[in-house]
Structure 1
Amino acid sequence: MRTPYSVPRVLLRRSAVSEQAYEPKIVGFLCNWCSYAGADLAGAARLKYPPNVKIIRVPCSGRVSPELVIRTFREGADGVMVLGCHIGDCHYATGNHRTARRMPVLRALLEFTGIESERLLVKWVSSSEGELFAQTVREFTEKLRQMPPLGLQMTSTSGK
């Protein structure tokens, strides 16, 4: 199944730097209605968080498929965040329930393929929680800094 979202390859390329300067590449899929607005609030309030998160706005966290997450890792991400509305507050009624059901299976699949499941973060952040967004990014970045770079950067089998 193809998704309409693409992972910006140019943003995920590794620069030729030493291990001491390792800064994890993180892609965040943020729900348009809640988490993206929370990120916007964090920016407007000038809250400090690492700039290494590439944000992709999605209509709903329920639209983030396991295939998209795996493709994001294949394109070079060290970590993936899926942030959505709090359970019960989804603008599409059950989108975040879908995400909550999918992610444990995806975590097991990641472990099976040799990717630590800790590299995937699923969290609920509302539009009024800019501080929670900033804190989440800081904590996830610090967690990934403790891990070696994933370094998959495989080429797509489809040639795209």
Structure 2
Amino acid sequence: MTDQWEPKILAFLCNWCSYAGADLAGTARIQYPPNIRVIRVPCSGRINPLFILKALQNGIDGVLVSGCHPGDCHYISGNYIGRRKSATLKRFLEYLGIEEGRVQFSWVSAAEGVKFSQVVHEVVQDIKKLGPAKRLVKRSLEFGVRSSEIKNRDSEL
């Protein structure tokens, strides 16, 4: 038995396009790596960057955000909003010391099961090259107070 590391990847997929593309890949029996765990969201524009930060904080090695192609969003401009959030988050993650490539964005339509499979393969390979992620450390925002003291104080409430 080998102890070869395999990345854990979380994918936020738009319900109207990317999730349907993933579903098409599954029903057409198109193979893609099992490293990915999918969360279906109404729109890529609705993904709060804190969801991605929490995922990285809790041991996820990479995150994929996938939405509708430009001009095809069910909510008109949601995919553009999602793309802007993703670009801003990437700059913030770089500031935190998280490698570029840990968070990736793609466009996949409902008819692109093969493309979804290709995107997943690429993301898995990119994350494997980066290696295991360093966990983001949760730090207290209250200066001079240890996080254990905050936990004790909160449990008393």
**TM norm structure 1:** 0.82
Structure (1 or 2) with the larger CA radius of gyration = 2
Note if 1:112 corresponds to 2:113.
no
Whole-angstrom CA distance in 2 between matches of 1:92 and 1:146:
35
Q: Distance in 2 between matches of 1:156 and 1:140?
A: 29
Aligned to 1:62: 45
CA contact (8 A) 1:42 1:130 kept: yes
CA contact 1:31–1:57 (8 Å) conserved in 2:
yes
1:150 positional shift: 0.5
SS at 2:101's partner residue?
Answer: helix
What are the within-5 Å matches in structure 2 for residues 90-101 of structure 1? 90-101=73-84
Deviations 1:35-77 (A, max 9, x none): 0000000001111110010000000000112111111111111
* Whole-angstrom CA distance in 2 between matches of 1:102 and 1:135: 24
- Cα gap change, 1:114/1:124 in structure 2, threshold over 3 Å: closer, same or farther? same
Gaps spanning 5+ residues in structure 2: where? 141-149, 152-157
1:156 deviates by 8.7
Alignment of 1:106-145 (within 5 A): 106-145=89-128
Q: Structure 1: 5+ residue runs without aligned partners?
A: 1-16
> Residues 92-146 of structure 1: CA distance to partner in whole angstroms, max 9, x if unpaired?
1110010122222111100111111211110010000000000000111011111
State the identity %: 48
> How large is the Cα RMSD of the aligned pairs?
1.9
Q: Aligned-pair distance for 1:153?
A: 6.6
**TM-score, with length taken from structure 2:** 0.84
Give 3-state SS (helix, strand or coil) of 1:123's partner.
strand
Which residue of structure 2 aligns with residue 78 of structure 1? 61
1:40 correspondence with 2:34: no
Segments of 4+ moved more than 3 angstroms = 153-159
